[in-house]
A and B are shown apart, each in its own frame.
Chain A
Amino acid sequence: MTNLVLEYSRYLMLLIVLLYSILNLYGLRSVDVRWQNRLSRHQMFLLFLLHTLGYLIIYLKTSEIRMVAFYGIQLAVFFLYYVSFGFLYRHGSRLLIGNTLTLIVLGLMMQTRLDFEYAMRQFVFVCAGLILTLLIPVVIRYMHILAKWGWVYAIVGIGALVAVWVVGNTTYGAQLSISIGGFALQPSEFVKILFVFMTASMLQRSTSFRNVVIVTAIAAVHVLVLVASTDLGSALVYFVSYLFMLFVATHQPLYMAAGFGAGSAAAVGAYFLFSHVRVRVMMWKDPFFDYDNKSRQIAQSMFAISTGGWLGSGFYQGMPKLISLVRNDFVFAAICEELGVIFAICIIIIYLGFVLQMIWVSTWMNELFYKIVGFGLAVMFGFQVFLHIGGVTKMIPCTGITLPLISYGGSSVLTTLIMIGIIQGLHLMKEKEARVSDGYEGDYEEEYEEREYSRRRLPEEEYGRRRRAEEAEEDFDFYEEERPAGRRRRKNMDQR
């Protein structure tokens, strides 16, 4: 019987995640938050099923009671979080929160399956990060001074990166971490956020050529320090997000073109300068060129993905541990192997929805600072996903970077959750702006629920009559107050 559960769980999990990702794309159809939030409830139900099924399999495979306890604690924490978020931020995006939880759950499932100890540690960071996402929106909303500290971000950011470069421990060829009180911190993760804030703050002041040159120089220092400490993946992420932020600030395609030109030239230069870059490219061309040593990892990743095939070998039924560093840099290969390529594509869709939502939130920001911050974070997030998945599947040379929220890594999880908190803050500002410009200070959701309630109570005709009267009144207000801008905005948004 256990075998049967294991055998068919892969179809079931696939079905759940397929439904989930379809709902996700469907949810992006409209920017109407109320509508999205209602959708989110269905998604949360699917997530609950997936989570339960995942840990059921883990329990069946290990018969360890601590797995059940771990599951229980997770469920309680996530439920509490979801409810308290809804309570604190009535207009917050639950779609974003739902997707965050889904990715976290998938991550914890994979980590538990790979190594229980690490999953526990990951969970601690997840909890800390989730608490931060509850606090950050307030900070973003009320501390407008954040936009003025450009030089502070630059100095702290570069300082931290240089510190790692100088005293950093060497992990797998790249100097990434620095130990503070027993914890190995990866400043390049946290500095990402400072970097985005720095760029946004500096570029909002002025986009004159002179200023652009200064900001570019500061950004270049970041990237060069990262290159010097051989953290090429992060360097690429910083670089690409900077180009996009510059584009958003200046609307100048020339900068973008010049940036990509310079980037390509630098990549070619790096190929000839650094042997480890050449090794990566060789591994990409032929994953077997040095199978016994350097390229075993990527070759094993290809083996894992190909053996898993469309449907995967079933959760907890593959051998992902044959890939070294599978829990952080190669976690996507483990997903492909056990849950299958279709499942993996669904995860790509979830990430896609996530990034698109981040971008669209930023599009609607009025203040340039927030707009740049939003875009910068979105591009960072998206590009990191691309580097990880592309690298693991040998689409591009592997750079060794984490998959946000799924890969193991405290710094990575914390940073990603902070990013999401910031985006959530932007989202709330947008909602607020929309309400203010509508000239309506009330509560859409409350109003909606009232309406729903009365629709259910009143006879059809009576409800229709009242509703028409209300609408007529609204339209009347609309013309009389002569505030077409906000109203039109709202409509546009609904059409998206």
Chain B
Amino acid sequence: MVSYVVLILFIAMAGYLVRFVYKEADTYKNDARNGKRMKQLEDKFLRGDIMAADETVLATTSVTEDGGERRFYPMGQTFAHVVGYTGRGTTGIEGMANSYLQDSHTNPALRIVEALRGIKSSADSVITTLDVGLQETAYSALSGHSGAIVVMEPGTGKVLTMVSRPGFDPNTLEEDWEVLTSESNTSSNLVNRATQGLYTPGSTFKVFTALEFLREYPYAYNDYSFSCDNKYEAGEYAIKCAHGVSHGNVDLSEAFAESCNGAFADIGQKLDFSDFMQTCEDAGFNTSLKTRVPLAKNRFVLDNNDSLWDVLQTSIGQGETQLTPMYNAMVASAVANGGTMMNPYVIDRVLSKYRERVASFGPSRLMTIMTKEEARILKEYMDACVAYGTGDDAAGEGYHAYGKTGSAQTRSDKETNAWFIGWAEDSRDPERKVAVSIVVEEGGSGGSVAAPIAKKLFEEWRSRDLSEEEYGSDMPEEETADDEVVG
């Protein structure tokens, strides 16, 4: 009997170790606090390359004439944040894929040959999902502003573009480090705003307010009407619609499309706060999302003790609610994808020096944030927003766009942050979709600043030849994604 107890305990220990290496080890290994050990590994191989989806080199290590090694980023500032840097800690893909970029999975026999010939072997290369054309478009569209842009495929979670400005030049990071990190520099160049920047969502949050309204009034939401005369008064407070516009009599769809603050403040008061909280938390607020691209934690605060002012503010996306641009892209994607939020990813596959496949990462479902029916209704509203509402500047030739604008007030003496979230369907193939999330700090109104940027991105995306994009080979992957949703 005692022997069996011992046997079971010891097998459990071995089993636990195996499970640990199999499941958890990668998370620990790539933790920033494990930098010292990883740094040591680095010296064994030449750090691997990082490439865009079309294998344009984004980061590579070259050996200088004096035998030193130098990390070089051919695309410079354009991909600075998403690719990240190494040396002063690791960030971005350099950080996420660190263990691959430092280790080689080539045949051990080939490694002996290399060692005997005195060649330092290269570590594995990482192929990302990033699209060079879209990234460049997004980067130049933000010029002169601070802000962030994320472009992703709704059905797969593939991140095509991730831009954050102001940026930095990764090639001269060593020299610029002092200036970039000095206290007098308040523009936080090194922060990737797309994933770590917490922004007030402004009117883009009305997606959630509308969703909650649909849930609480499933039979009555269609009959909702509100009479807007620019200024909505509740108690001692007043909520105004932007630009001094009066929307007149609006239903829910029109209120959403025209981004009528009065109507949504009114709706906010009709909601059950704990249900609203639940809806938002189920959708990923106030929790650490298990995304493959690490995101800052979104925040949503609302409870029955809140003052009327807080309630009004929260329902129109002001107040204490905060989210990351990446998350907002995921929300737009989820609506486009029938309520299913895909787990975003930038690392597509890892290849060894001799192009053997070391690892590959396909689409995976993160969670379902709304039902198909709810997604369909919100889609109608977002359609209306681009068709005749505030987002009409996003509309263009050859594609059908859906969206929601936002102009988030952060300080009363500054311009608002301009937001646009939405997606476009290719008119040649409605199943081909792309979602965007754009925030321009102090840009002004979302409709006039962010929506045109969306249009540029949609057009760039639409300009691709379907065959050129290896569209056919992407299809099965999308199908597997759908399977997962069903299962």
Interface residues of A (CB under 8 A from B): 3-4, 7-8, 244, 247-248, 291, 299, 302-307, 309-310, 313, 317-319, 322, 336, 341, 344-345, 348-349, 351-352, 355-356, 359-360, 375, 378-379, 382, 385-386, 389-390, 393-395
CB distance B2 to A303 under 8 Å?
no
10 contacts across the A-B interface (CB closer than 8 A): A7-B115, A302-B28, A303-B33, A303-B34, A313-B37, A322-B37, A344-B17, A359-B2, A375-B2, A390-B13
Interface string of B28-39 (1 = CB under 8 A from A): 110101101110
With a cutoff of 8 Å between Cβ atoms, the chain B residues found around residue A299 in the complex are: 33
| Known contacts A7-B115, A352-B6, A393-B13; A291/B36 CB under 8 A | no
State whether the Cβ of B16 lies closer than 8 Å to any Cβ in chain A.
yes
Interface string of B63-101 (1 = CB under 8 A from A): 000000000000000000000000000000000000000
| Known contacts A4-B112, A322-B36; A306/B26 CB under 8 A | yes
State whether the Cβ of B245 lies closer than 8 Å to any Cβ in chain A.
no
State whether the Cβ of B21 lies closer than 8 Å to any Cβ in chain A.
yes
Minimal beta-carbon separation of B118 from chain A (angstroms): 10
Not counting A378-B6, A379-B6, a sample of 10 additional A-B residue pairs whose C-beta atoms are within 8 angstroms of each other reads: A4-B115, A305-B21, A306-B27, A309-B25, A322-B36, A345-B14, A345-B17, A351-B10, A359-B3, A382-B9
CB distance B25 to A306 under 8 Å?
yes
CB distance B37 to A303 under 8 Å?
yes
Interface string of B338-357 (1 = CB under 8 A from A): 00000000000000000000
With a cutoff of 8 Å between Cβ atoms, the chain B residues found around residue A247 in the complex are: 1-2
CB distance B10 to A352 under 8 Å?
yes
CB distance A307 to B29 under 8 Å?
yes
Q: How many residues of B contact A (CB 8 A)?
A: 33
Closest to A317 in B: B40
CB distance A379 to B13 under 8 Å?
no
The one of A305, A322, A348 in contact with B20, judged by C-beta atoms closer than 8 angstroms, is: A305
Instruction: Give the tally of cross-chain contacts (CB within 8 A).
Output: 108
Minimal beta-carbon separation of B98 from chain A (angstroms): 11
| Known contacts A307-B41, A341-B21; A359/B6 CB under 8 A | yes
A349 to B17, CA, bound (A): 13
CB distance A305 to B115 under 8 Å?
no
A304 to B34, CA, bound (A): 8
A351 to B11, CA, bound (A): 11
The one of B6, B28, B116 in contact with A355, judged by C-beta atoms closer than 8 angstroms, is: B6
A191 to B72, CA, bound (A): 63
The one of A3, A306, A341 in contact with B24, judged by C-beta atoms closer than 8 angstroms, is: A306
With a cutoff of 8 Å between Cβ atoms, the chain B residues found around residue A310 in the complex are: 21
CB distance A306 to B29 under 8 Å?
yes
A386 to B27, CA, bound (A): 25
Minimal beta-carbon separation of A291 from chain B (angstroms): 7
A356 to B10, CA, bound (A): 11
State whether the Cβ of B242 lies closer than 8 Å to any Cβ in chain A.
no
State whether the Cβ of B475 lies closer than 8 Å to any Cβ in chain A.
no
Minimal beta-carbon separation of A336 from chain B (angstroms): 8
With a cutoff of 8 Å between Cβ atoms, the chain B residues found around residue A313 in the complex are: 37, 40-41
State whether the Cβ of B466 lies closer than 8 Å to any Cβ in chain A.
no
A395 to B36, CA, bound (A): 25
CB distance B28 to A393 under 8 Å?
no
The one of A291, A306, A395 in contact with B16, judged by C-beta atoms closer than 8 angstroms, is: A395
With a cutoff of 8 Å between Cβ atoms, the chain B residues found around residue A390 in the complex are: 13, 16
CB distance A356 to B20 under 8 Å?
no
State whether the Cβ of B110 lies closer than 8 Å to any Cβ in chain A.
no
With a cutoff of 8 Å between Cβ atoms, the chain A residues found around residue B40 in the complex are: 313, 317-319
A309 to B30, CA, bound (A): 13
Most chain B beta-carbon contacts within 10 A, residue among A244, A318, A382: A382
CB distance A4 to B6 under 8 Å?
no
CB distance B37 to A393 under 8 Å?
no
CB distance A303 to B6 under 8 Å?
no
Closest to A303 in B: B34
CB distance B3 to A393 under 8 Å?
no
Minimal beta-carbon separation of A365 from chain B (angstroms): 13
The one of B6, B13, B21, B29 in contact with A356, judged by C-beta atoms closer than 8 angstroms, is: B6
Minimal beta-carbon separation of A304 from chain B (angstroms): 7
Minimal beta-carbon separation of B362 from chain A (angstroms): 24
With a cutoff of 8 Å between Cβ atoms, the chain B residues found around residue A360 in the complex are: 3
With a cutoff of 8 Å between Cβ atoms, the chain B residues found around residue A355 in the complex are: 6, 10
With a cutoff of 8 Å between Cβ atoms, the chain A residues found around residue B12 in the complex are: 395
CB distance A341 to B17 under 8 Å?
yes
State whether the Cβ of B18 lies closer than 8 Å to any Cβ in chain A.
yes
State whether the Cβ of B119 lies closer than 8 Å to any Cβ in chain A.
no
Closest to B115 in A: A4
CB distance B2 to A244 under 8 Å?
yes
Closest to A4 in B: B115
With a cutoff of 8 Å between Cβ atoms, the chain A residues found around residue B18 in the complex are: 341, 345
With a cutoff of 8 Å between Cβ atoms, the chain B residues found around residue A307 in the complex are: 28-29, 34, 37-38, 41
The one of B2, B28, B116 in contact with A379, judged by C-beta atoms closer than 8 angstroms, is: B2
With a cutoff of 8 Å between Cβ atoms, the chain A residues found around residue B9 in the complex are: 382, 386
A289 to B7, CA, bound (A): 33
Closest to A307 in B: B37
With a cutoff of 8 Å between Cβ atoms, the chain A residues found around residue B10 in the complex are: 348-349, 351-352, 355, 382, 385-386
Interface string of B170-205 (1 = CB under 8 A from A): 000000000000000000000000000000000000
In the complex, chain B residues 275-323 whose Cβ is within 8 Å of any chain A Cβ:
none
- The 7 closest A-B CB pairs, nearest first, are A306-B25, A306-B28, A303-B34, A352-B10, A306-B29, A395-B16, A307-B37
A355 to B4, CA, bound (A): 11
With a cutoff of 8 Å between Cβ atoms, the chain B residues found around residue A341 in the complex are: 17-18, 20-21
CB distance A382 to B37 under 8 Å?
no
The one of A303, A351, A395 in contact with B28, judged by C-beta atoms closer than 8 angstroms, is: A303
CB distance A319 to B16 under 8 Å?
no
Minimal beta-carbon separation of A7 from chain B (angstroms): 7
A352 to B15, CA, bound (A): 14
With a cutoff of 8 Å between Cβ atoms, the chain A residues found around residue B3 in the complex are: 356, 359-360
With a cutoff of 8 Å between Cβ atoms, the chain B residues found around residue A305 in the complex are: 17, 20-21, 25, 28
A110 to B413, CA, bound (A): 65
The one of A4, A348, A375 in contact with B116, judged by C-beta atoms closer than 8 angstroms, is: A4
Minimal beta-carbon separation of B106 from chain A (angstroms): 13
Minimal beta-carbon separation of B104 from chain A (angstroms): 11
With a cutoff of 8 Å between Cβ atoms, the chain B residues found around residue A352 in the complex are: 6-7, 10
Minimal beta-carbon separation of A45 from chain B (angstroms): 26
Minimal beta-carbon separation of A99 from chain B (angstroms): 14
A254 to B26, CA, bound (A): 45
With a cutoff of 8 Å between Cβ atoms, the chain A residues found around residue B116 in the complex are: 4
With a cutoff of 8 Å between Cβ atoms, the chain A residues found around residue B21 in the complex are: 305-306, 309-310, 341
Minimal beta-carbon separation of B15 from chain A (angstroms): 9
A389 to B10, CA, bound (A): 10
| Known contacts A306-B20, A309-B21, A309-B25; A389/B13 CB under 8 A | yes
Most chain B beta-carbon contacts within 10 A, residue among A307, A313, A351: A307
CB distance B37 to A304 under 8 Å?
yes
CB distance A3 to B33 under 8 Å?
no
A341 to B33, CA, bound (A): 21
With a cutoff of 8 Å between Cβ atoms, the chain A residues found around residue B26 in the complex are: 306
A7 to B111, CA, bound (A): 10
| Known contacts A303-B28, A386-B13; A319/B36 CB under 8 A | yes
A356 to B40, CA, bound (A): 40
A322 to B3, CA, bound (A): 37
Closest to A388 in B: B13
The one of B6, B17, B29, B37 in contact with A319, judged by C-beta atoms closer than 8 angstroms, is: B37
CB distance B13 to A395 under 8 Å?
yes
With a cutoff of 8 Å between Cβ atoms, the chain B residues found around residue A8 in the complex are: 112
With a cutoff of 8 Å between Cβ atoms, the chain B residues found around residue A303 in the complex are: 28-29, 31, 33-34, 37
A322 to B28, CA, bound (A): 15
A356 to B2, CA, bound (A): 9
With a cutoff of 8 Å between Cβ atoms, the chain A residues found around residue B20 in the complex are: 305-306, 341, 393-394
Minimal beta-carbon separation of B451 from chain A (angstroms): 42
Minimal beta-carbon separation of A61 from chain B (angstroms): 13
Minimal beta-carbon separation of A18 from chain B (angstroms): 13
